[in-house]
Structures are given as C-alpha cells and as structure tokens.
Amino acid sequence: MVAHQRNERNQGGETGRLSGTLHDVQHTVQEAMQRPAEMVKEYPLSSMLMCFGIGLGVGVVLSQTVCSSLMETFEPEPSTVEKLKRQVYDAVTHVISPSMLKQIQNYTG
C-alpha cells in the first residue's frame, strides 16, 4: 500500500515535469516555425529563387530516375553502320572457312 502511494506521488511529480517539458517543446516549435516566416518576409526574392532552384533540382533528379528506368526496358536500335557491319560479317562467315574466321577474329579483337 505504501509503495502504491509513493508511485502515485512520483507520477504526479512526473506529470508536472512532463507538462513543463511539453510546454517548452511547444514554445521551441513555435519559435522554429516563426523564424522561416520572418526570413521569407525579409528576403522574398531570395526565398522565391531558392524554392525555384530546389524544385528544379528535384524535378531533374526525378526525371532522370524515370527516364533511366524507361530506357532500360527498350533496346537501342543499331545504327546503320552496325547493321552494315553485321551484314558483311554474316556474308563473310558463309564464304570463309571456320579456321580463317578465327584468325580474322583474333586480328579484329
């Protein structure tokens, strides 16, 4: 019974401290919210340009992310030179013996 009464007294003291701490936190949050508002009022053009720059940067990062993921799904179409190279290679493979083809591949890399 005595221990129960002590706990109740301690909880009452802790509640007082918690409400005081809560009041301090609320006061700090209010001050933290007022400071940016004051800065925007003092420097409206700089604030607007900073927000524009941040938005532009976020937009670039998001567009790069979206475009790179979309580009991975598509295979790039081979250029005309690559198509011609492939056609010549196919034609040569039908005419030249396999041993000669290996020699040519060693020279071309």
Domain ranges in the chain? Answer: 1-42, 43-74, 78-109
Q: Token pair for residue 27?
A: 């006061």
* pLDDT for the residue 16: 62
- The answer to whether residues 39 and 47 touch, using CB atoms and an 8 Å cutoff, is yes
CA distance 19 to 86: 79
Encode the chain (109 residues) as per-residue pLDDT tens digits.
Answer: 444 445 545 455 556 666 678 888 888 888 888 888 888 899 999 999 999 999 999 999 998 888 877 776 777 778 898 888 888 888 878 888 888 878 877 877 6
CA distance 100 to 93: 9
